Amino acid sequence: MKRTTPSERARRRKASPEEAAYLDLVRTAEMLSHPLAQLLKTEDVSPPQYNILRILRGASEGLTCGQIASRVVTHDPDITRLLGRLEKRKLIVRGRGDKDRRVVLTRISPGGLELLARLDQPVRDRHHRLLGHLGGERLEALAKLLEACRGRRLRSASLSNSSTLDTRKTQGQSFKKARRHLSKVCGPLPSSEVWHCSTLSRTGKSRSQNS
């Protein structure tokens, strides 16, 4: 009887339920996104550009670059480049805000609205062709499961951010205590010199311990 080596057993390792679900999600997302991308090519727009136009259509007052970045479906590190291409095609317009001239707001243009209007029904039909066979009940259940996945990730991110803020608060309190102590020893110091003095104090303490 042929024995399997540890490396062969490792290669045959069965995926955990979480791994299997993740891989199925990735495969399904790829399968569903490709036909939509092909449809958008007929209007010479990419899925991220289409997503931005949809976001701006729902925000007639305009949005900042940061607000757009926080609402896109898939993260893109270069939102500015995408906006530049859309502006070059006159699908969006950018200008200073009326209330705050320091803020640059992006709005969808009439040309952008016309492009979306041409795509609305074809996109709806494409989605129906890809997912309509599931039926309303299963689609609703699927949406709830996916929302639950995202909700756990968002809660984890929120807890992480909260922990970071608590750490910064603690560090700030420690610095204030150190500053009060140094003021007693060194006398009142300008803010720019407090950190320098505290650094020297720690360095001298470290050297005396090592000597």
For 131-158, the pLDDT digits (tens) are 999 999 999 999 999 999 888 765 555 5
The pLDDT, as a whole number, for residue 201 is 41
CA distances from 76 to 52, 71, 84, 149, 172 (A): 11, 11, 14, 21, 33
Which domains, and CATH codes, for the chain? 15-152 (1.10.10.10), 172-210 (no CATH)
If you average pLDDT over every residue of the chain, what do you get? Answer: 78
Residue pointed to by tokens 């639950």: 148
Angle formed by the axes of helices 191-210 and 135-186, nearest 10°: 80
Residue 34, pLDDT score: 94
Residue whose C-alpha is closest to residue 181's, from 197, 205, 168, 164? 197
Cβ–Cβ < 8 Å for 51, 73: yes
Distances (CA, A) of 204 to 109, 137, 188, 191, 211: 63, 70, 20, 21, 11
Higher-confidence position of 131 and 162 = 131
Answer positive or negative: Cα dihedral of 106, 111, 113, 115. Answer: negative
Distance between terminal CA atoms of the chain?
A: 68
Q: Which of 38-42, 87-91, 207-211 has the lowest mean pLDDT?
A: 207-211
What amino acid is encoded at 140 in this protein?
E
Beta strands per DSSP E along the chain: 92-96, 104-108
Q: Cα–Cα distance between 181 and 198 in angstroms, integer?
A: 10
**Given this model, what pLDDT does residue 153 score?**
63
DSSP symbols for 93-108: EEEE-SS-TT-EEEEE
pTM higher than 0.75: no
CB-count exposure of residue 126 (10 Å: 0-12, 13-18, 19+): middle
Which element (helix H / strand E) includes 193? Answer: helix 191-210
Candidate from 106-110, 141-145, 159-163 with smallest mean pLDDT? 159-163
